[in-house]
A and B are shown apart, each in its own frame.
Chain A
Amino acid sequence: MTFVAADTAWVLISSALVLFMLPGLALFYGGMVRRKNVLSSMMHSFVVMGLMAVLWVVIGYSLAFGTGNNFVGGFEHLFLKGIDHNSMTGTIPTYAFIAFQGMFAIITPALISGAVVGRIKFKSYIVFITLWSLIVYSPVCHWVWGGGFLTGEALDFAGGTVVHVTSGMSALALLVFLGKRRGYGVDAIKPHNVTLTLLGTGLLWFGWFGFNAGSALAADKIAALAFMTTFIAPAAAGLSWMVTEWIGKGKPTALGFATGILAGLVAITPAAGFVSPMAAIIIGLSAGFICYKAVMLKGRFGYDDSLDVFGVHGVGGITGALLTGVFVTVGGTGLLLGNSHQLLLQFEGVIITIVYAVICTLAIGFVIDKTMGIKVSVSEENIGLDQTQHGEKGYNF
């Protein structure tokens, strides 16, 4: 295809926007942990910008977008072999495509960190996300977008299953090895600075316009549609979380509203370029309510998904992926237009992804736990990870 300057410009800008979500995520998570773990938690979102970026161009991209087979891409683009500045992917240079997709590979493992804050060894975190990126992220990315067996079947506009279902379910699975934070359910483990979390929410939303609208890979009508739905769904989700919490707990909390916005962003991700803005309102309202209920599950079942990665990304991603099968009217037909088969395909995509992500995470977690250990010692956990893992403190006064 021929080179289109506008498309290239938009994808490059979108790539930068997605990278900007990392400091957003760092603030979002950092504000919710206790002050002794603030840097460690933020570092989980920062170190991926180094590690995943290098890993992506060395091998990840090839595994995700190489020709390969139905399951995983091949090794033909190892070290970006066979690609230069003249290579094209659709209407944009392949380098722009690699950069954009690289940002997704960066943020996805960082999402998992929210479940395990305050108790994972930094060294083990590095090893875990490296293996996870190669074993889980790249293959699933290949299935859905890179020519694998789900490509053209299950609809996933910007990563509802590839990014959010994989990270949300893996976060839950990883808790098998990390358990609860000490004092969970006994001491009041509260966010140390909700204002950081609110600022982080804003940065995430800002960056998410690149994440979703950039996934059109063109500066076209679909990009504008995805932008609109990314604008509307989180708005509706923030409101629905706020109202649900207001009725249930008596107060409309700022943290709740922010979490609702995030739930809406997650849920609209698979649907962004496929559904109308009115459908986006329904998806957003559903996501706010459903994720609120999902977050309350941990109280009932007693697991410590510390920052609700499963409750928001896992459940929100599943909700969005399934509702995409209901509301798709652009570039496909869903249940709303009488095509129940699409919903079945969405369901299939979600189930396969969940099973694969959970099994692989359990395997990787098991090996790390048995070899290098995955959890810090009791005394390190009590002192805090900033001091014990990184030798510094977030606040000195």
Chain B
Amino acid sequence: MRYVIAIIRPERLDAVKLELQQVEVNRLTVSPVSGYGAQKGHLEVYRALEFEVNLLEKIKLEIAVNDNFIQPTIEAIQKGARTGEKGEIGDGKIFVFPLEDVVRISTGETGSEAI
């Protein structure tokens, strides 16, 4: 089992969800996050006062998958989150972790059954 965390652009969320459904990954946790990396910040102006904003809004996805689903999941996120054909700086990253165990709270099932 693997645990996937992906940071993507907020505007690509729907496309990523669609791609994940295509490969039958139908479980997903989403949270709004902010951070910075290679993509530069932007300028905001409030009453003629300029603010350099370098924390950018991103979306964090968290998905737990069985081993046979990991490759399709990574490909689906990549496909959905990429801007244009070639992709751009700021499209995000995907992190993959080994996952020790999963427990379904309602039934008590564990391991790959519970995913």
Contact = CB atoms under 8 A, between A and B. Distances in A.
Contacts of A245: 45, 48
A256 B47 contact: yes
A255 B51 contact: no
Contacts of B45: 245, 249-251, 253, 256
Interface residues of B, number: 10
Contacts of A188: 51-53
A295 B51 contact: no
B97 interface: no
Contacts of A249: 45, 48, 50
B101 to A, nearest CB: 32
A353 to B, nearest CB: 25
A190 B47 CA distance: 10
Contacts of A255: 46-47
A225 B8 CA distance: 57
A338 interface: no
Most A CB contacts (10 A, CB to CB) among B46, B48, B52, B53 go to: B48
Contacts of A302: none
Nearest to A253: B45
Interface string A84-99: 0000000000000000
| Chain A contact surface mostly | helix
A253 B46 contact: yes
A299 interface: yes
A191 B50 contact: no
A183 interface: no
B44 interface: yes
Interface in A309-328: none
A296 interface: yes
A296 B44 contact: no
Interface string B13-49: 0000000000000000000000000000000111111
A126 B114 CA distance: 60
Contacts of B49: 299
A10 interface: no
A242 to B, nearest CB: 11
A256 B48 contact: yes
A333 interface: no
A388 interface: no
Nearest to A249: B45
Most A CB contacts (10 A, CB to CB) among B46, B51, B53 go to: B46
B48 A295 contact: yes
Interface in B38-74: 44-53
Contacts of B47: 253, 255-256, 259, 295, 308
A248 B48 contact: yes
A34 B79 CA distance: 38
B41 to A, nearest CB: 11
22 contacts: A188-B51, A188-B52, A190-B51, A191-B46, A194-B46, A245-B45, A248-B48, A249-B45, A249-B48, A250-B45, A251-B45, A253-B45, A253-B46, A253-B47, A255-B46, A256-B47, A259-B47, A292-B48, A295-B48, A296-B48, A299-B49, A308-B47
Given A194-B46, A295-B48, 6 more contacts: A188-B51, A188-B52, A188-B53, A253-B45, A253-B47, A255-B47
Interface of A: 188, 190-191, 194, 245, 248-251, 253, 255-256, 259, 292, 295-296, 299, 308
Interface of B: 44-53
